[in-house]
Amino acid sequence: MVGPYEGSKPRAVLVAKASEEASS
């Protein structure tokens, strides 16, 4: 899933994505 920060991803977005993948 591509968020609004495709170019520059803030740490919060990276953490959220990692958490999402870990939950899967």
pLDDT value for 12: 81
Q: What are the phi and psi torsion angles at 15 (to 5°)? A: -65, -40
Say if residue 24's pLDDT is above 80.
no
Q: Letter for the amino acid at 14?
A: L
pLDDT value for 22: 87
Residue 5's closest CA among 23, 18, 17?
A: 17
In this prediction, what percent of the chain has a pLDDT beyond 70? 62
pLDDT value for 6: 62
The answer to whether the CB of 17 falls within 8 A of the CB of 11 is no
Q: How far is CA 18 from CA 5, 11, 13, in A?
A: 15, 10, 9
pLDDT confidence of 14, banded at 50, 70, 90? confident
In this prediction, what percent of the chain has a pLDDT beyond 90? 0
DSSP 8-state class, residue 1: -
